[in-house]
Structure 1
Amino acid sequence: MAPLILARTKSSGGSDRFLSDLASHADALFHGPTYEQYGAICYRKHPEFGAAEVLVVTSRESGRWIVPKGWPIRGKKPHEVAAIEAFEEAGVRGKIKKKPFGYFTYLKQLVDGNRVPCIVQVHLLEVEKTCENFPERGQRRIEWISFIEAAGRVREPELKGLLLMADRKLRRTKAKK
């Protein structure tokens, strides 16, 4: 993974805390086990403006803004797990890319209070359908917003970068059509 260069902006307040927290767990990051998760950047074209918007959800524990993600599932490929998590956490279904779009890291707080480093493999999912009933309905807040606003809401610097990269990619794709 290429190193990430951070610029200090008004929207990076949460990132500063995140990086400080990450630094305090450096030993676990470099010497302990690292856990893998799979996630989805879920997007759709805004019905009125035609611009793409992205889905963000809150985590159940801390209420911070994230993208749908979860642990590996035996017998499922990473992109399949990402699609399952998108449905379970946000009630969306669509066309998911098999190829990973990128990766981000964060510290996952476990039930026992321990924090473990996780690497999340992220896949792009073009939403085709939203469902009223889904497993985690009522447990999370869900919002469709611009990619730029989403990048300002999430804490993880690498996820911020992935959201902005996805926005640029989708704009380029739209311009070619």
Structure 2
Amino acid sequence: MSVEARTGRLRQRYDNNFRLVSGCIPYRLTKDAEDENEDIQTRIEVLMVSSPNRSDLVFPKGGWENDETVMEAACREALEEAGVRGKLNEKPLGIWEFRSKSKQDLHSLEGGCRGYMFSLEVTEELEIWPEQENRYRKWIKNRKHKHYKHALQ
């Protein structure tokens, strides 16, 4: 099954000059037998993706379009940008307002975004995904994890 990334802003939702954005924090729990007795905070890994034309890592997010729910948009962005599917927690982690990185220097309302973020327990990691030519993905472990403690000693 081939999935193509949506492009353009023809279906983009806006609210009071804010572009509406939806995304998620994809996560998984490590499965090491040694880890099973540790608390969840030391077993969790989050998935981040690279930003095209920049060096930073971000969580998958993008425009919420008028033919989908905010939760469907979050799942679509996870699939398009990170190549993952999973179980989305229907309660948002938070809602925040920010300026688009490409519009941060402007002194107008243009570039204002309102974002909705969800947690996504990853159940499937695809080998091929729509934006893999422009992005790489990286699993990040909690710095309190024992492997980091050992490396720092």
Q: Which interval holds the TM-score relative to the shorter structure?
A: 0.5 to 0.7
Q: State the aligned residue count.
A: 117
* SS across alignment from 1:88: helix
Measure the CA separation in 2 of the matches of 1:148 and 1:136: 28
Measure the CA separation in 2 of the matches of 1:142 and 1:104: 24
Identity %, equivalent residues? 32
Q: Please state if 1:138 is matched with 2:122.
A: no
TM-score (norm 2): 0.67
Greater relative CO, 1 or 2 (CA 8 Å, sep 6+): 2
Measure the CA separation in 2 of the matches of 1:76 and 1:38: 11
For residue 97 of structure 1, the aligned residue among 89, 95, 102 is 89
Larger Rg: 2
- Aligned amino acid, residue 142 of structure 1: R
Which structure 1 residue ranges, 5 or more long, are not aligned? 1-31, 150-177
- Cross-structure match for 2:64: 72
- Cross-structure match for 1:47: 31
* SS across alignment from 2:27: strand
TM-score (norm 1): 0.59
More helix by share: 1
Change over 3 Å in CA distance of 1:93–1:119 after alignment to 2: same
* RMSD, matched Cα: 2.4
Change over 3 Å in CA distance of 1:103–1:44 after alignment to 2: same
* SS across alignment from 1:135: coil
Change over 3 Å in CA distance of 1:33–1:103 after alignment to 2: same
CA shift for structure 1 position 87: 0.6
- Cross-structure match for 2:21: 37
Q: Please state if 1:108 is matched with 2:73.
A: no
**1:59-113: CA deviations, max 9, x gaps?**
11323221000101222110111011001001100001222111233321459x9
Measure the CA separation in 2 of the matches of 1:106 and 1:64: 17
- Cross-structure match for 2:39: none
Which structure 2 residue ranges, 5 or more long, are not aligned? 1-15, 37-42, 145-153
**1:26-80: CA deviations, max 9, x gaps?**
xxxxxx8222200001000113235110001111132322100010122211011
Q: Please state if 1:86 is matched with 2:78.
A: yes
* SS across alignment from 1:83: helix
**1:117-144: CA deviations, max 9, x gaps?**
2221001100001000110013112110
- Cross-structure match for 1:61: 53
Measure the CA separation in 2 of the matches of 1:47 and 1:139: 30
